[in-house]
Structure 1
Amino acid sequence: MRNPLKYSALMAMVFLCKSALALDAPDKTYTLEQALDYALANNPELSIMQARIEQANAQLGEALASFYPQIKTSLSYQHSDNPAQAFAMIIAQRRLDFNGGDFNHPGGVDNYRPQVTASYSLFRGGQDYYLSQAAELGIESSELEKSATRNRLANNVATAYYGELAAIEAHQISRRSIEAVQSELDQSRIRFDAGTVLKSDVLSLEVQLAEAKDAEIQAANAIELAQSMLKTLLGSSANDSFAIAESAEHALPETPASFEDLLNQAMGQHPELKAAEKRAAIAEQQLAAAKAAHLPRADAYVSYGSDSKDLAFSSNRDNVSAGVMVEMDIFSGFATQEKIKKAEHELTAAQEMSRQTRLRIENQLKSAQLKLQEALNRAQVASVAVDAAEEALRLVNAQRQAGVVTVTRYIEAEVARDKAHTRRINARFDALRAEAELKQASGLWQ
């Protein structure tokens, strides 16, 4: 028989082991490509854009409905003692009797009419065609807007990702600086106790240590802020576990192509520009539909039903009506003219929006190209400065150990080394962010 105490103890040990393993298990780390894939699959803004595409599809279906026959059924009831109406209802009910009743005083007559009516639009001045074309362009515009959203989202994810990497490296530098200053401070305190170091040197190192700790706090906070932004872009909640792959190497981007080549590439594929052009084309179709309201309209119809004094249906009382109706607005209170004016202004606005989008893309492209070139130049200069600062710190540290330089000179060399590393980090990740911005301006992220 199983011992319940032993079994409970065993289960408790298993639970504790699993809990310990879960605590020790590292979070899944994401490379930039994995973070981009995750964002494109989970960001709610893309789901919103997909819903708009489906909405545009539904609008196209609604526009195409005008090309199909419209069928409806109805049931009407009428009671009248008007001789003319009552006489017409009696005839429709096939109950006319010349030998019975007084035609001038027929009394109250009930009439029930169930019927089915089908109608078909023969011509509406081309309005249905223009509106259906606008709806088709609306689908294309929605799909391009989704591509533009993907383009912006990818750039934002890359920018936040590089921002967190930069904050992580800055945090590592600040911690290394704390360790170096703390070690020097400990040695200086020992020397001060021995009477070989001034109190001012110890105080200077304490100030430097406080500044290094302040930088470490700011860098740690920058990591949290960048990660919070990344989680938002990825469609994750603030409590979800997330970590980026810190060990991944991100080489400096290549020198950008000429502005003319980049501009030609962007003008041929940028989804925002294409979407703006589609919206202008939609406005053209809507203007044509508004102008078509001046033309005549023709509709054909057929109706089948029966008239009876009660709801009983009989094929002996059924009847069919068919016809064609042509109508044309002579005066609508200037409503048609105002609709045309509205469509013309909407077309002008859409065309100007397309031009504005083109100018904005050109500016973004030029700005990103200049930023990338500048960051690459800065990165090259910063690498040389880091090597020089590291060597200077090594020499000053050796001189400090020999007691031939003051602690102030050591602090200056330490600060110069940290600033050189910080400039190189900023330049490198500024170049990567500029490359991401250049891809967005060129429409390459889509």
Structure 2
Amino acid sequence: MILLCAILPLAVFALPFDASAQDEPTHPLSLRDCIDLSLASSPDALAAQERIEQARAAVKQAQAGFYPRLSINETFLRSNFAPMVFSNELAQAQLSGSFPFPPPPGFDPFGGFNNPPPLSNWNTQLLLQWPLFQGGRTFYGNRAAVRSLSASELGLKTVHNDLTFAVTSAYYEILKTENSIKIAEESVRQIRSQLDVASARFENEVALKSDVLRVTVRLAESEEALAIARHNIERAKSQLNLAMGQPVTRPLELAGTTSEALGGFVDKPSLEESLELARRNRPELEGMNKNIEALENSAGAAKAGYYPQINAFAHYDIDSEDFSDSNDSWTIGIGASLSIFDGFLTRSAVQSTRAKLREAEAQRDKLLLQIESEVKNAILAKSEAATRLDALAQSVAEAEETFRIVSDRYSEGLALVTELLDAEVALTNVRLHRLSAEYNYMVASAAIERATGGAISEGFKQ
């Protein structure tokens, strides 16, 4: 018994633990919740963040050219080449034997100096190198890297903007689909009610069998529409999970409603004001400008080959034949070099960078046109949706009243079943049209926020 009590707690901790279950939402998600989750876990956002880290590392690499470089080198040589043997003996401070100085009487300089015995030398060198002037390569290269870092940071803002719009659109799609299910359910309820009426009238021999069959067919159509709507909401939830970087099978429950969304939007500025906002706030445009600045500095770095390269150096050496004795020495100096002809390498590099710069400027002009088109299209889409909403508001009320009147008349035997079905179809269609207009209005409002570089979620009441 004591052993069993000791094992049970361990068995509990040994049970499989599903970490993904801890990540599943335990409460209805607002639009703000969905956006925050997307920005935190979407692969697109994570990839953009890693591009920033790459750019930061590139800045550090570019700045390395401003600092001295320190290295230690070890070299072993063994040779009977007279000049090398002589220099190594000098370095080891043991000039003797092969090269006696002063030469003794009878010394054969040609035999002794020209044919020395082999000599080994171990050289340990501590080397310091410092580039003093590289023709602007380091200076302009660093500036280009800093601009590229800024462009990467703006790229993250662009990704956030795109993700926010994608999440918002998917969120509204779910709200739309939920409402379409309610409309389909109401349609099924109404038709079943009318089927009961038609069946009762047929049993009382005041209606034809065809009336019952027509209502039955319409009921099947409505039930099919309801089934499609229920499948559509699962697809919409999968799309939202995808936009948030979550498994598509993750269960979702939303906290918002269409009425809240519609009530949260405010009138946007005019077209000209919106275009000006987009020119100032779109991160893609600012990021393109940073890339152009980076290329301008890269062109300056490419010209470095036209200028001399100046470096300071210093090294400390220890020379020994067998480590039993050694001699140390030091050297300092400054070196300069100027390329007279490099096979047109520098010229070609400058031309290539300038061509890339002109390409980037053309891409920026194209991007500006695309942004202006996005702003205008979004404003037109919102205006169209608003006009449709105004027109459909009255149409829905009229269709509801028409269906009520025809339904009552059919129950009293004063209307044909075709009139009843036509009224029901018209009511369902106008409700769906209004729902579509509401969705288009919300998405167009979000598109304006994205197109002008604003925070889309501010247009939704949390």
Q: TM-score, normalised by structure 1?
A: 0.91
Alpha-carbon separation, structure 1, partners of 2:323 and 2:293: 54
Which residue number in structure 1 is paired with residue 284 of structure 2?
Answer: 272
Deviations along 1:47-105, one digit per CA (max 9) or x if unpaired, are: 11111111111111111110010111110111111112112111111111216993332
Aligned-partner Cα distance in 2 for 1:383–1:255:
19
Partner of 2:44 in structure 1? 45
Structure 1 residues 295, 351: closer, same or farther in 2, change over 3 A? Answer: same
Query: Which structure 2 residues correspond to residues 393-412 of structure 1 after superposition, within 5 A?
Result: 393-412=403-422
Query: Shift of residue 225 of structure 1?
Result: 1.2
Return the alpha-carbon distance in structure 2 between the equivalents of residues 77 and 174 of structure 1: 89
Are residues 61 and 262 of structure 1, via their aligned partners in 2, closer, same or farther at CA, if it must alter by over 3 Å? Answer: same
Aligned to 1:168: 178
Asked if the contact 1:174/1:215 (under 8 Å) is kept, the reply is yes
> 1-side partners of 2:247 and 2:395: how far apart?
41
CA drift of 1:310 comes to 2.1
Q: Which AA in structure 2 matches 1:220? A: R
2:321 aligns with 309
Q: CA deviation at 1:218?
A: 1.9
SS of equivalent to 1:228: helix
Q: Which amino acid aligns with 2:47?
A: I
For the pair 1:233 / 2:243, whether they are aligned, the reply is yes
Answering whether residue 181 of structure 2 is matched by residue 181 of structure 1, we say no
* Residue type of the alignment partner of 1:349: E
Q: Distance in 2 between matches of 1:60 and 1:147?
A: 20
Identify which range, 132-141 or 186-195, moves more after superposition: 186-195
Query: Is the 2:125–2:315 contact (alpha carbons within 8 Å) kept by the matching residues of 1?
Result: yes
Is 2:312 aligned against 1:300?
Answer: yes
**Deviation (angstroms), 1:313:** 6.5
- Take 1:194 and 1:390, find their aligned partners in 2: how far apart are those partners? 28
Shift of 1:181: 0.9
2:105 is the alignment partner of 1:94 = no
Partners of 1:431 and 1:418 in 2: CA distance: 20
* Partner in structure 2 of residue 284 of structure 1: 296
For residue 372 of structure 1, give the secondary structure of its aligned residue in structure 2.
helix
Deviations 1:248-279 (A, max 9, x none): 72225344321110111111111111001111
Q: CA deviation at 1:371?
A: 0.3
Q: Aligned with 2:114: secondary structure? A: coil
Whether contact under 8 Å (1:255, 1:373) holds in the other structure is no
Query: Identity of counterpart residues, as a percentage?
Result: 31
2:262 aligned with 1:251, yes or no?
yes
Distance 2:304 2:35 in 1: 47
Separation in 1, partners of 2:267, 2:439: 15
Query: 1:12-411, aligned counterparts within 5 Å?
Result: 27-97=26-96, 98=100, 102-247=112-257, 249-252=260-263, 253-312=265-324, 314=326, 317-411=327-421
2:237–2:248: 8 Å Cα contact kept in structure 1? no
Deviations 1:156-176 (A, max 9, x none): 111011011111101110111
| 8 Å contact kept, 2:308–2:338 | yes
- Whether contact under 8 Å (2:238, 2:249) holds in the other structure is no
Change (3 A) 1:313 1:232: farther
Q: Does 1:435 align with 2:422?
A: no
Distance 1:257 1:246 in 2: 26
Paired amino acid for 1:382: L
Deviations 1:209-249, CA, capped at 9 Å, x for gaps: 12112211221122111110110111211232221125472
Q: Which amino acid counterpart does residue 401 of structure 2 have in structure 1? A: E
Structure 2: stretches of 5+ with no match in the other structure: 9-20, 457-462
Instruction: Verify the 8 A CA contact 2:128 2:314 in the aligned structure 1.
Output: yes
Q: Within 2, Cα distance between the matches of 1:379 and 1:52?
A: 44
What is the alpha-carbon distance in structure 1 between the residues aligned to residue 167 and residue 84 of structure 2?
75
- Please give the alpha-carbon distance, in whole angstroms, between the structure 1 residues aligned to 2:312 and 2:290: 35
- Equivalenced residue count is 425
Kept in 2, the 8 Å contact 1:78–1:110? The answer is yes
Q: Could you say what secondary structure the match of 1:28 adopts? A: coil
Distance 1:247 1:303 in 2: 75
Instruction: List gaps (5 residues or longer) in structure 1.
Output: 9-21
The letter of the residue matching 1:39 is S
**CA–CA distance in structure 2, aligned partners of residues 206 and 311 of structure 1:** 107
SS in 2 for 1:195: coil
- Residue 338 of structure 2 aligns with an amino acid whose one-letter code is M
Q: Which range moves more in the overlay, 190-199 or 322-331? A: 190-199
CA gap of 1:26–1:255, structure 2 versus 1, over 3 A, is: closer
Q: Secondary structure at the match of 1:29?
A: coil
Alpha-carbon deviation of 1:127? 1.2
